[in-house]
Every structure is written in structure tokens, then in C-alpha cells.
């Protein structure tokens, strides 16, 4: 029997759903099956054929409008004109690699470095978040002299050989590396501990000790600071410091994976790690920094990066190319000009409040938590026991799809709706999302 991936297979189209499809959708799914590799997955039992996007909205081939509450790739909004104009203008001039001099990569880097702690002074560029995390792991190993990497129980950090070996969210069909150790996620809803930070730090120390017992030297702790794949766990601001202290005390580095919580997403700070007042040794970023243009980056303390870069040349043909840098610069400009960090904080708080209000009407809602426009909506079959209700979550997702709201699930039990709209999401969109959730939970409530 095939193993199921929690991140890929939970909310996906499968062959048994094909009979219910319209002819045009069935034609596309059949062609996709013929020409694309079988590892690919489609969202929804009834897949969505999207043809256009604008800001927080998407349209399908039939002209139906959807509210996008999931796609952080287009972080500042689908088809933002500032990004389109910047990319087009640079494409008309030049696109090449980083072994020639060009102002864009230098100017963008200087700008980006003003947004991180002053201890971080060096940057390197790639095309994907997987590549950034892959390089970060190599840097951690070069700096520490070890190989052991610690991640959380349901973490996702990429699809390269190194990163997939440290991405348990890919499922049991993708084995973890022998040098990877997992810690339980800092889930304040389910962890009964007087101090979440101390508890989490102790869990990391246990795994470092286990590595040592097996002859593995600890290299680093790799984490997305909102633990999105673990179910969106913002936790109390500041609690991560104890964990970072333990990592450093054991000779490792802290790699902050900011692909999902970065670039103003959490509202309280520009970066997810900054909510906790910690200074990473390495920061990785990807998807949102170019609003869909393939670009990623690694920023680091110079002494940490030097352990790798003084010994090994690194070249990524189109990492940091002028077109990608033009897109990335446009994104930074828009975040500032449209005040998207403040927008995320204010609108996200209003959305969180409205979603929390649904708990009085629906006992199946166990917890609602988040920071800015990044919210986890957890469904349970019993509030007292906090029993996860994965099937309800999947059915809610399908109801939302029919109500033209797009999102998906996360967490080790597949029962948390991951509500992560583009930063173009507006206050007037709250009624659409909350209303659709209310209708779905009402329709699916036990009779």
C-alpha cells in the first residue's frame, strides 16, 4: 500500500474522483496524467482550472471568482503591476548570471540587509527555497564540523536530497536522513508546560544528546519560526530565545527558514524570527521575495558563512540574476509603499477575532491562532479531549472550494486549516472567508 504524504496527499485529487468531473476538467486531468510525472498532485477532489489572478483574487476558466487564502508565493498579490513592470523593463535590457558585474544584485542586497539584524552582513542567491535551505545545511556542517540537523515533527524545508531528508512533512515514503532528529512542535494548544520556551529548549537538548549517543555531532537547528507545516504555531512572542541559546551552547547554528513567515507576513515584525527577538546565524528565504519569480536567498553572519565560502566556490547560474533582483526589489518597495506589514498586523487581528467568534457557534473548532495574515484554524471532534478531526477538515476544504475560497490543511493530524492569504487581502474580504467557513461547518455539523 502506498504511503501518504501529509503535505502532498492530504488535500488532493485522486483517480477515484475522476468520475464526478465535468468533461473539460476530466480532459485536463487525463492529459496531465499522460504527460506529467506521477509524483505531482492536484488540490481538491474537483480540481480548479485557474486562468487569471489579480491581487487577492483568482478566476477559473468558467469566469468564476475565487478568494485566495493559501497562496503565499504571490505574497503582495497576484500580478502586482509593480513587479510586472520591473521584470518587463529588466527583461528588455539583460538577464544573465552573477559572474558578471551588475548593480541590481548589489543594490538589492544593501537594501535587504537593512532589514535584518546588524550581525547579518552577507548574502547569497539561488532560485528556490529548497536550494537556500540546502546551502544553509552545508554551511551549518562546515561551520560546526558536525552533520546532525534538528527539525520539528512535521517540518517542511525543501525537495533536494539534503532538505527532503530533513522534511518529515513529505511523508513516510521519503525517509529522513540518519543525521536528522525531530523534536515535537511548540504547540501551546496541545503542550501542557508552564513555560513553552523552556520545554522546547529541553526537547532540543534531548535530541542533541541522542545524536551524541549515536556518534553524530550536532550541526544546527532548522526551523520556520511560525511552524507552519506543524499547524501554524505562533506561540508567545519571545519564547524561541531559550531554544537558540541551547543550540549555541552545543556548538550548532540556528537557521531561520523565512520562506513562509518572512516579508511582513506576521505583521508584528518583518521576519518571523524577529517576533521572538532572536538573531539567527543564517536566514533563508524564497517564494514571497519575488512574488512568484523564482528567486531565493541565504543571509548569514560573516564568520558562519566563511567556514563554507572560504573553502568552497558556489555558483547558481540564475540565482540573483538581474530580472529576479528587479522583482525582489519591487516587492520590497511595495511592502514599504503600501505599508503591508502594518496592514498584515491590523487586518490579520480583525480576521483572527472574527474567526475566533465562530467558536461559540461551532464546537468543532478547537483553536484559532495566528500572527498577522497567517492563521491556523484547528478542527476537533471533541474540545475537551482535543481529538483531531482530519476528515472534517478535508470536508470543510471541499465546501470552501465550492464557495470559491481556496486554502488547504496542515499539521501532523491534517486537521488545521492553513489560512495564509496574499498580503493584498482586505478587511472587506473577511466576511467572504468567515461566512464560507460558517456555512461549511453548519452544513457538516452532526445532525
**pLDDT tens digits, residue range 361-409?**
999 999 999 999 999 999 999 999 999 999 999 999 999 999 999 999 9
Measured CA to CA, the distance from residue 62 to residue 51 in angstroms comes to: 9
pLDDT score of 228: 96
Decide if 333 contacts 339 (C-beta within 8 A). Answer: no
Q: What element of type H or E holds 222? A: strand 218-223
CA distances, 89 to each of 77, 289, 295, 327 (Å):
20, 18, 17, 10
φ, ψ for residue 72, nearest 5 deg? -85, 0
The dihedral over CA atoms of 110, 327, 90, 101, expressed in degrees to the nearest 10, equals 30
Measured CA to CA, the distance from residue 264 to residue 243 in angstroms comes to: 23
pLDDT of residue 199 exceeding 60, the answer is: yes
pLDDT score of 8: 58
- Of the candidate ranges 21-30, 56-65, 430-439, the one whose mean pLDDT is the lowest: 21-30
- Grid coordinates representing 315 are 555558483
Q: For the beta carbon of residue 68, count every other beta carbon within 10 angstroms.
A: 24
CATH number of the structural domain 48-78+340-444 = 3.90.1150.10
What tens digit of pLDDT does each residue of 272-324 get? Answer: 999 999 999 999 999 899 999 999 999 999 999 999 999 999 989 999 999 99
Q: Which residues of the chain are in CATH 3.90.1150.10 domains?
A: 48-78+340-444
> What is the pTM assigned to this prediction?
0.94
Q: Which residues of the chain are in CATH 3.40.640.10 domains?
A: 81-338
- Kindly provide the residue ranges of all beta strands, DSSP E only, lying in 47-115, ordered along the sequence: 50-54, 57-60, 65-68
pLDDT score of 31: 87
φ, ψ for residue 342, nearest 5 deg? -65, -40
Span 81-338 CATH architecture: 3-Layer(aba) Sandwich (3.40)
Measured CA to CA, the distance from residue 134 to residue 226 in angstroms comes to: 20
- Grid coordinates representing 106 are 548589489
Amino acid at each position: 500500500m502506498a504511503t501518504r504524504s501529509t503535505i502532498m496527499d492530504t488535500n488532493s485529487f485522486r483517480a477515484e474522483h475522476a468520475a464526478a468531473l465535468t468533461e473539460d476538467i476530466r480532459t485536463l486531468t487525463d492529459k496531465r496524467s499522460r504527460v506529467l510525472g506521477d509524483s505531482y498532485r492536484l488540490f481538491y477532489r474537483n480540481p480548479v482550472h485557474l486562468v487569471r489572478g489579480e491581487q487577492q483574487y483568482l478566476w477559473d476558466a468558467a469566469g468564476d471568482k475565487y478568494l485566495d487564502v493559501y497562496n503565499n508565493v504571490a505574497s503582495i498579490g497576484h500580478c502586482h503591476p509593480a513587479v510586472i513592470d520591473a521584470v518587463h523593463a529588466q527583461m528588455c535590457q539583460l538577464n544573465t548570471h552573477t559572474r558578471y558585474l551588475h548593480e541590481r544584485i548589489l543594490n538589492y542586497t544593501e537594501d535587504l540587509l537593512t532589514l535584518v539584524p546588524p550581525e547579518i552582513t552577507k548574502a547569497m542567491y539561488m532560485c528556490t527555497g529548497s536550494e537556500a535551505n540546502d546551502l544553509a545545511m552545508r554551511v551549518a556542517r562546515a561551520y560546526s564540523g558536525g552533520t546532525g540537523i534538528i527539525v520539528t515533527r512535521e517540518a517542511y524545508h525543501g525537495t533536494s536530497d539534503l532538505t527532503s531528508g530533513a522534511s518529515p512533512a513529505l511523508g513516510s515514503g521519503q525517509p529522513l536522513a540518519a543525521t536528522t532528529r525531530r523534536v515535537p512542535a511548540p504547540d501551546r494548544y496541545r503542550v501542557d508546560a508552564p513555560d513553552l520556551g523552556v520545554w522546547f529548549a529541553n526537547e532540543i537538548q534531548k535530541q542533541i544528546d541522542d545524536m551524541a549517543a549515536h556518534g553524530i555531532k550536532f550541526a544546527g537547528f532548522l526551523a520556520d519560526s511560525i511552524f507552519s507545516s506543524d499547524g501554524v504555531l505562533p506561540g508567545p512572542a519571545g519564547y524561541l530565545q531559550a531554544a537558540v541559546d541551547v543550540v549555541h551552547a552545543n556548538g550548532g547554528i540556528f537557521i531561520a527558514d523565512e520562506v513562509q513567515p518572512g516579508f511582513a507576513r506576521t505583521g508584528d515584525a518583518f521576519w518571523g524570527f524577529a517576533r521572538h527577538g532572536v538573531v539567527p546565524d543564517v536566514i533563508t528565504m524564497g517564494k514571497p521575495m519575488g512574488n512568484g519569480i523564482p528567486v531565493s536567498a541565504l543571509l548569514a553572519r560573516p564568520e558562519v558563512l566563511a567556514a563554507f565560502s572560504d573553502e568552497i566556490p558556489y555558483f547558481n547560474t540564475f540565482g540573483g540574476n538581474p530580472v529576479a533582483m528587479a522583482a525582489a526589489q519591487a516587492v520590497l518597495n511595495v511592502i514599504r509603499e503600501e505599508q503591508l506589514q502594518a496592514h498584515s498586523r491590523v487586518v490579520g487581528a480583525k480576521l483572527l477575532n472574527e474567526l475566533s467568534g465562530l467558536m461559540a457557534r461551532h464546537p468543532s473548532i478547537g483553536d484559532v491562532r495566528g500572527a498577522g495574515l497567517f492563521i491556523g484554524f484547528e478542527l476537533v471532534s471533541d474540545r475537551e479531549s482535543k481529538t483531531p478531526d482530519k476528515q472534517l477538515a478535508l470536508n470543510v476544504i471541499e465546501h470552501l472550494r465550492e464557495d470559491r475560497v481556496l486554502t488547504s490543511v496542515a499539521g501532523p493530524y491534517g486537521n488545521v486549516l492553513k489560512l495564509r492569504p496574499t498580503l493584498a487581502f482586505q478587511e472587506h474580504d473577511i466576511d467572504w472567508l468567515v461566512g464560507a467557513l460558517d456555512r461549511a461547518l453548519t452544513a457538516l455539523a452532526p445532525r
